[in-house]
Amino acid sequence: MNCSICLDSLKTPVSTPCGHIHCEKCLIAHVESNSNGMTASCPTCRAEFCIATPDLRFVSSKHHKFIMPSVRRVFLDAPSTSTKTLEETITVLTNRVRELERDKTLLLDRCEAALVASSTHAERERDARVQNNKLKKEVQELRGKYDAMKRKCKEIKDE
């Protein structure tokens, strides 16, 4: 982590009440440059905080546990992963992204082909339904003619 004041890696890190972390020396220099002796502002977000702590001799003992300094020391763990490990992870993830992009392209191509096939099938099905309806009408007409001829034949036989 880097200090936002000196832009160097943190040396004896301390935290302001708003949660921003700075080097202790950098924060002290920032607070000392402030003209007000009771409050200071966070160098990162400009949130004001009190820098004076009350004398505990004048505060009842039951309230001592609630009085804490506004700037507290922070203990940060050293990063456990090395740069080489991070570079390997980046390489693996970059390759995975490429694979996923290739798979996405293939999937899009297959989807487009399926859509074309589906629309072609739907169009042919519509044509088949139209032709089926025409043929049904023709069959009805022929059946009507057949029935009419059958009646005529029966009439001729009966005569």
Question: Which tens digits make up the pLDDT trace of 32-55?
Answer: 888 777 888 888 898 888 887 777
Residue 1 token pair: 């982590």
The β-bridge relationship of strands 21-23 and 39-41 is: unpaired
- Same domain assignment for residues 106 and 44: no
Q: Is residue 53 part of a domain?
A: yes
Taking only the tens place, the pLDDT of each residue in 100-124 is 999 999 999 999 999 999 999 999 9
Q: What is the pLDDT of residue 131?
A: 97
- Same domain assignment for residues 86 and 156: yes
Q: How many Å apart are CA 4 and CA 22, to the nearest integer? A: 7
Residue reference for tokens 């935290």: 15
Boundaries of domain holding 148 = 81-159
Q: Is residue 3 part of a domain?
A: no
- Please provide residue 105's backbone torsions phi and psi, each rounded to the nearest 5 degrees: -60, -45
Q: Is residue 109 part of a domain?
A: yes
Q: What is the pLDDT of residue 121?
A: 97
Angle at 71 between CA 65 and CA 75, to 5 degrees: 95
DSSP 62: G
- Same domain assignment for residues 119 and 65: no
Q: What is the pTM of this model?
A: 0.44
Give percent above pLDDT 70 in the chain: 96
Which tops the pLDDT comparison, 119 or 76? 119
- Nearest CA among 63, 76, 65, 33 for reference residue 51: 33
- Nearest CA among 75, 6, 78 for reference residue 44: 6
- Same domain assignment for residues 55 and 86: no
Q: Is residue 2 part of a domain?
A: no
Q: What is the pLDDT of residue 103?
A: 98
Q: Is residue 97 part of a domain?
A: yes
